[in-house]
Structures are given as structure tokens and as C-alpha cells.
Amino acid sequence: MAQRGDAPASTGGSAPPPGPAPDRPRPWPASELGVRAVSGVVLGLLVLAATLSGGWFFALIWLAAGLAIVGEWLAITRTGPHRPLLALAGLVLAGLVVGARLALPPLPLLGLGIGGGAVLALVARPRPGRLWAPLSLACAAIVALVPVLLRDDPRIGLAGPLWLFGVVWTTDIAAYFTGRTLGGPRLWPAVSPKKTWSGFCGGLLGATLVGGAVAAGATHLGAQTSLPLGPALLLSALGSVLSQGGDLAESALKRAYGAKDSGRLIPGHGGVMDRLDGFFAVALLAGILLAAGL
């Protein structure tokens, strides 16, 4: 009889060596999709609260987003000197946002933007940075200015930013889940291997319906005018295509410099550029329409 503490009797074969414990699936909130969803909801609620509030709080949110875009763009393209360029871009962006909120004439604001971009080009190193630095400022200025100009315009008001969010957010969400569900041929594998044509079409359809509804019902959101349903749907479809094009453009930039994400500021999403690449393209469209008085 084996005594306490003795080794167990042999059964005729050696016991298998202990192996690594099998991986257990992480709880949903800790999974990649869970982190992405939670951080997206929190960020979306913050942006919506700022949109409803309007005023300087709303402007400050977009100024911070613009500054983050410049910082991430400079980091991806390895453009320096980083801190002086970021400080200069911050001063220019702050001047543009404050000037827009105070309803200054467009010409001085345009001069500030062009002058700031020229100084960034002179300071930036190495040589490719002389292009990337002013481009980062231009992209950041569109993101920082257009939502504020739309929100402050009495003809448009709340409806303008909500249309932007409706088109961009629905494009991202619908494309993500449609692509994961249906799969199929890749949209542009050399640039973004995970994107599919099914995701593109799903994002396009969802954004057309949501954005079209917001644009056609703009008067119910406080706007002075709203678009007929047909033009509203067409404009939203164009916005969705541009949003997905902006996403691909940022993917191409990151791939050219060997970057996976633009940053780590937003859990599950990467950097601010990763969330606003499509938003920039749709905001550019809205800014052109706003400047044309449409």
C-alpha cells in the first residue's frame, strides 16, 4: 500500500508531460470587437453631446482632433522636428477655429492657413516632409473647421454635423459587418487586404439610407431648408464612396511607411486618423458645398 507522500503506482505507461493550458476565449468586453464597440460608443456619445451643445465646447473637440491628426501624420511619415512643427500647426489651427467662430472674413483665414502651411514646409525635414507637413495641416484644418462652420451656420445648424456622422459612421459599421458576414472578393488587397466588395456595397447602401434620411429631414433638426429625397440620397451615396476612399488613402499612406495604425489613442481603433480618414473626405465635400452656398 502506498504511504501518504509516496508517488502514485505506475499504470504501465508514463504520464504525458503537462502542456500549456488551452487558450480560453476572452470575455466579450475584452475581445477585439468588444473593445472596439465600447470605445466607439463612448467616443460617439462624447461627440454627440458636444454636437448638441455646440459653441466653444464643440469647436474645442474638433480643434483637438485636428491637432491629433497633425501629430499622427508627422509620426507616420517620420517628419521632424516633431514638437516645433506640432506647436506651429496648433497655433495655426487655433487661429482658424477661433476666427471661424468669430465669423471673420474668409480671406484672412485663408491667408493664415496658406502662410502656416508654407512655414511648415520650410521647417520640415527630411525632404518628403516638406510635402507631408503642409498636407497634414490642410487635412487637419478641414476636420477642425467644417463641422464647426456647419454647426454655426443658421441655415444648417445641427443637421450638418449629424449628416456627416450618419454617412461616415454608417459606412464604417455597415461595411464592417457586411464584409465579415458575406466575405467575397477583396476591394483592393494591395492596400487594405481585409476590405471586400461586399463590405463596400453594404456601407454604401446603409450610408445612403441613413444620410439621405438626415438630409431630407433636416428641417426637423432645426435647419432652414432640406434637400428633396432624391438629391439627399445621391449626396449621401457620394459621401459614402468618398468616406471609403479616404479610408483607403490612409491605408496606402500607412502601408508606404510600414505603419499598422496611426496611433494608440483610441482603444480598439488605433489613432485619431484611423477614425477620421473617411470623415475628412466627407467633410471636404461638405466644405465645398458650403463654400459654394449650396
The pLDDT assigned to 143 comes to: 96
What is the Cβ-side half-sphere exposure of residue 279, based on CA atoms within 13 angstroms? 25
Backbone angles phi, psi at 23, to 5 degrees: -65, 130
Q: Is the pLDDT of residue 89 over 80?
A: yes
Q: Is the pLDDT of residue 13 over 80?
A: no
Helix H or strand E segment including 186: strand 186-188
Of 105, 104, 101, 91, which is closest to residue 140 (Cα–Cα)?
Answer: 91
The pLDDT assigned to 19 comes to: 53
Of 72, 64, 70, 66, which is closest to residue 46 (Cα–Cα)?
Answer: 64
The pLDDT assigned to 37 comes to: 75
Q: Is the pLDDT of residue 124 over 50?
A: yes
The pLDDT assigned to 40 comes to: 73
Of 267, 243, 235, 221, which is closest to residue 173 (Cα–Cα)?
Answer: 243
Confidence of residue 18 (pLDDT cuts 50, 70, 90): low
DSSP-derived letter for residue 220 is: G
- For 155-213, the pLDDT digits (tens) are 999 999 999 999 999 999 999 999 999 999 999 998 988 899 999 999 999 999 999 99
Q: Is the pLDDT of residue 10 over 80?
A: no
Q: Which of 19-23, 46-50, 76-80, 106-110 has the lowest mean pLDDT?
A: 19-23
Distances 167 to 5, 15, 114, 188 between C-alpha atoms, Å = 70, 61, 29, 21
The pLDDT assigned to 29 comes to: 55
Per the model's pLDDT, the better-predicted residue between 228 and 261 turns out to be 228
Task: Evaluate the omega torsion of the peptide bond into residue 18 and state whether it is cis, within 30 degrees of 0.
Answer: no
Of 71, 72, 61, 70, which is closest to residue 97 (Cα–Cα)?
Answer: 61
CA distance 166 to 123: 38
Q: Which of 2-16, 194-208, 212-226, 267-281 has the lowest mean pLDDT?
A: 2-16
Percent over 70 (pLDDT), the chain: 86
Q: Is the pLDDT of residue 260 over 90?
A: no
Q: Is the pLDDT of residue 144 over 80?
A: yes
Q: Is the pLDDT of residue 250 over 50?
A: yes
User: 251 with 274: CB under 8 angstroms?
Assistant: no
The pLDDT assigned to 27 comes to: 58
